[in-house]
Structures are given as C-alpha cells and as structure tokens.
C-alpha cells in the first residue's frame, strides 16, 4: 500500500472520488457536496487556516487502486481548553481493511506528533462542529440531514481496533409532528402563553442583521458555560444568516421575547438533503438549477433543527416547551412532518432532558467523537459533563 499527500489537481480529484468507491452499493448514502468539502481546505474560504494547519492524504493499494483517504489538522485556538495538545482527523474513508485504516491513522499521528500534539480527536471537522463531525454508530438505515456524517458500520471497528476511545456521543433526535407531546409539556407551555410579557414570532422581512443580533445575544448567554465555548461576534452571526439565505424558510426561524428582550430561539432550515440526493454531490451550474427546481416543486417535509436555546436566566420556566409548541403548530400547517435535531452531546444532560422528557423526541441516530492518546499509558478522561 502507498500513502501520499495531496499535491496536484488530480490528487484532489481522487480525494473526492474515494467516497463513491466506498459507498458504491449503499442506497442510503447522500454524498457531501464536493465544493463545500473542498472549501474546508481552502485558506481563502475557511478562516480556521488563520489559526491552524491541515494536511490530507490518499491511500492506494499495490495495483494503484484508491482505497482510502484522511485529513489531519491542528486548531491552535483550542489547545488551551485541552488537558494536552490535541489535533484532529477527519474526512476519513476506507475499505474494510484494518491494515489500510492503520496506515491512514498512523500517518496522521506522525504528522501531528511533529507539530507537538499528544492526542487526536476524530472524525471531526477543521471548522465548526455543526458539520462533518462524529462517526455514525446507530441509525444507518435512516435519512440523515445535510452536513451530518454518514459511514459504513465497520468504521467503528476500524477506529476501536486501532485504540480510539469514546470521548463523547452525539445524539440525533427526531420529532414526528403528528404525535402529540406529553401532557406535562402542554402544562408547561400554557404557563408561558398565559403570561402576557412573553411572546414569540418567526422571522419577518429581510432584516437579517436584526435577527443575527438576537441570535448572537442569546447564544453567547446560553452557551458560555459549555466546554470549549468561544464568544460569537456579531459579524460571525451575520455571516451565518447570510449563508442560509439560499435555503432559508422564515417560518423556521423563531425567537421568544420577554417584553422586548430576546431570550430564546429555534433555528431550522428545510433539510437540503431532501433535494441534494438528486445531484450526486456536485453543485455545478446545472445542478444548482436542478436543486432550485426541486426546492420550488417538492414540498419540504423535514425540518433540520440547527440549534435552539434559552438564556440561563429564563431556563426552567417552560420556555422550551412553549417555543416547541408554537413552532410545531405553525410549521405543521405548511407541510412539515418531522423535525430532526442533530448534535446533542451526551455531556449536556440538560439538553438531553429537554429533548427526551419535555419535547417527547426519540433518539434517532447516534454518532461518536473518538479520542486517541499518543502516550498509551496515560489516563484517558472523557469529555467533562456540563453541570
């Protein structure tokens, strides 16, 4: 077997060909958009290059057939949060062969060691956590939303046989909107609706800056106790909202207010994978038109819930239930049948309780973020639980 770094346009082409080899006979697989994946590796399109470093590799067998790929990277800004310098690996694809997987893993570890790292997390993204993060371990036969990782079942064996251990799990929840919530849910939501100083509304008009400001204010208050939290700047929030313009449905962007103060939000989009499955991972000019056609002619049934949260001061009042109640009633009327909430870490028991007890959602899929310590004698410590 021969492993090499990406150094030419043909190498890049082969890097993107490998998933099509691995998932050739997998009908459930929806390829990531190669232009979006390639942007991760472009310093002009990914700000993480300004405070990090990345390298990617492709693996071929003795007959020069493509059999695997992987990327190794370092985010220098996150090192102070870790008990030891920790790098990352991602975009892993491999045939069902432990030797091939070991070559990919060991190549990345060697690269990371040279740069002072003492551990590695994976599979993760060289970017934000909302995309390309975690290894799917449950729910392989189910529809998965845009940006979520998908992989064969045997990847779990490849990682764990090498020595990776679970750092944390990520739960994906799915709410069937035709099934009523638990009785206690409505008791909690009605308590909020009966108080005149609370009110809710979805995005209206085109003042994206206003809604981005609401979002950033709530996010910075609500997430500041999370492990690895970095305060979001208003500029970043505005960019995030602008990026969503092509897929946005304003009826899926909800905010709650106490008098005129924004205190909670629900941010969702029509799941793009409902349409992207028809374009085979290439968003060229023709397929952009094709995507736009499906957006306009096919009713969206699945809402991908990107994030929801409540300012700490207003938690435990029933706002989660009230927000979910009004969103469910409104979006059901326009054709949505399911809400899929990705990325609820098992280190966040409060959010798990909200999803399972108050919202009545079931665990739909599970992903694992693994960690591997280079010192095999060192004590392994899982991700800290949010108190």
Q: Mention every residue, 6+ apart, whose C-beta is less than 8 A from residue 57.
A: 3, 4, 5, 6, 69, 70, 71, 72, 104, 107, 108
Specify the pairing of strand 165-176 against strand 86-94.
unpaired
Tell me the CATH number of domain 2-169+369-373, given options 3.90.580.10, 3.30.420.40, 3.40.630.30, 1.25.50.20.
3.40.630.30
User: If you average pLDDT over residues 303-315, what whole number do you get?
Assistant: 91
Please list the residues that pair with 58 across neighbouring strands.
Answer: 4, 69
Whole-number Å distance between alpha carbons of 336 and 178: 10
Give the pLDDT confidence of 24-80 residue by residue, as tens digits.
999 999 999 999 999 999 999 999 999 999 999 999 999 999 999 999 999 999 888
Q: Mention every residue, 6+ apart, whose C-beta is less than 8 A from residue 196.
A: none
> What does pTM read for this prediction?
0.90
Is the pLDDT confidence value at 272 over 80? yes
- The pLDDT score that the predictor gives to residue 104 is 99
In this prediction, residue 224 has a pLDDT band, given cuts at 50, 70 and 90, of confident
Is the pLDDT confidence value at 211 over 90? yes
- The pLDDT score that the predictor gives to residue 294 is 87
Give the pLDDT confidence of 166-202 residue by residue, as tens digits.
999 999 999 999 999 888 889 999 999 999 999 999 9
- The pLDDT score that the predictor gives to residue 248 is 87
User: If you average pLDDT over residues 236-265, what whole number do you get?
Assistant: 91
User: If you average pLDDT over residues 225-246, what whole number do you get?
Assistant: 83
Is the pLDDT confidence value at 316 over 90? no
Please list the residues that pair with 340 across neighbouring strands.
Answer: 174, 304
Residues carrying CATH 3.40.630.30, the chain: 2-169+369-373, 179-336
Is the pLDDT confidence value at 100 over 80? yes
* pLDDT averaged over every residue in the chain: 93
Whole-number Å distance between alpha carbons of 221 and 311: 6
Percent of the chain with pLDDT over 90: 76
CB atoms under 10 Å from CB of 81, counted, come to 12
- Assign 309 to helix, strand or coil: strand
In this prediction, residue 121 has a pLDDT band, given cuts at 50, 70 and 90, of very high
Whole-number Å distance between alpha carbons of 373 and 387: 25
- The pLDDT score that the predictor gives to residue 225 is 75
Higher pLDDT, 40 or 226: 40
- The pLDDT score that the predictor gives to residue 299 is 78
Give the pLDDT confidence of 318-364 residue by residue, as tens digits.
999 999 999 999 999 999 999 999 889 999 898 898 888 766 788 99
CB 263 within 8 A of CB 218: yes
CB 92 within 8 A of CB 57: no
Higher pLDDT, 300 or 56: 56
Whole-number Å distance between alpha carbons of 264 and 310: 4
In this prediction, residue 227 has a pLDDT band, given cuts at 50, 70 and 90, of low
User: Prior bond to 123 cis, omega within 30?
Assistant: yes
CB 99 within 8 A of CB 354: no
Is the pLDDT confidence value at 242 over 90? no
- The pLDDT score that the predictor gives to residue 354 is 80
CB 53 within 8 A of CB 116: no
User: If you average pLDDT over residues 198-211, what whole number do you get?
Assistant: 93
User: If you average pLDDT over residues 77-101, what whole number do you get?
Assistant: 95
Architecture of domain 179-336: 3-Layer(aba) Sandwich (3.40)
Is the pLDDT confidence value at 133 over 80? yes
CB 70 within 8 A of CB 107: yes
- Structure-token pair, residue 261: 């103060």
Give the CA angle between residues 211, 213, 217 to the nearest 5°: 120
**Distance, CA of 354 to chain centre:** 19
């Amino acid at each position: 077997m021969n492993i090499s770094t990406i150094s030419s346009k043909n190498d890049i082409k082969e890097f993107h060909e490998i998933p099509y080899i691995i998932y050739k006979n997998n009908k459930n697989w929806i390829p990531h958009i190669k232009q979006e994946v390639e942007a991760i590796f472009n310093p002009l399109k990914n700000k993480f290059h300004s405070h990090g470093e990345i390298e990617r590799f492709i693996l071929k067998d003795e007959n020069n057939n493509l059999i695997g790929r992987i990327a190794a990277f370092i985010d220098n800004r996150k090192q102070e949060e870790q008990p030891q310098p920790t790098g990352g690996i991602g975009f892993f694809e491999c045939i069902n062969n432990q030797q091939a997987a070991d070559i990919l893993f060991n190549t990345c570890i060697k690269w990371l060691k040279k740069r002072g790292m003492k551990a590695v997390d994976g599979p993760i993204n060289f970017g934000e956590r909302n995309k390309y993060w975690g290894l799917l371990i449950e729910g392989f036969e189910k529809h998965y939303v845009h940006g979520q990782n998908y992989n064969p079942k045997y990847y779990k064996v490849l990682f764990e046989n090498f020595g990776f251990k679970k750092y944390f799990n990520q739960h994906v929840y799915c709410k069937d909107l035709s099934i009523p919530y638990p009785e206690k849910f409505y008791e909690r939501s009605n308590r909020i609706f009966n108080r005149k100083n609370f009110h809710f509304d979805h995005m209206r008009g085109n003042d994206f800056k206003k809604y981005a400001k609401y979002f950033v204010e709530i996010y910075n208050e609500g997430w500041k106790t999370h492990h690895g939290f970095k305060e979001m700047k208003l500029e970043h929030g505005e960019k995030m909202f602008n990026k969503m313009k092509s897929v946005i449905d304003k009826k899926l962007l909800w905010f709650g207010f106490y008098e005129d103060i924004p205190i909670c939000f629900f941010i969702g989009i029509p799941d793009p994978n409902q349409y992207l499955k028809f374009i085979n991972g290439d968003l060229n000019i023709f397929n952009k038109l094709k995507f736009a056609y499906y957006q306009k002619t096919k009713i969206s049934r699945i809402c991908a819930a990107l994030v929801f949260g409540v300012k700490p001061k207003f938690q435990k009042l029933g706002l989660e239930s009230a927000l979910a109640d009004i969103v469910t009633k409104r979006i059901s009327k326009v054709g949505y049948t399911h809400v899929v909430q990705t990325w609820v870490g098992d280190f966040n028991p409060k959010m798990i309780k909200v999803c399972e007890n108050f919202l009545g959602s079931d665990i739909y899929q599970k992903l694992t973020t693994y960690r591997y310590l280079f010192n095999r004698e060192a004590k392994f410590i899982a991700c800290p639980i949010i108190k």
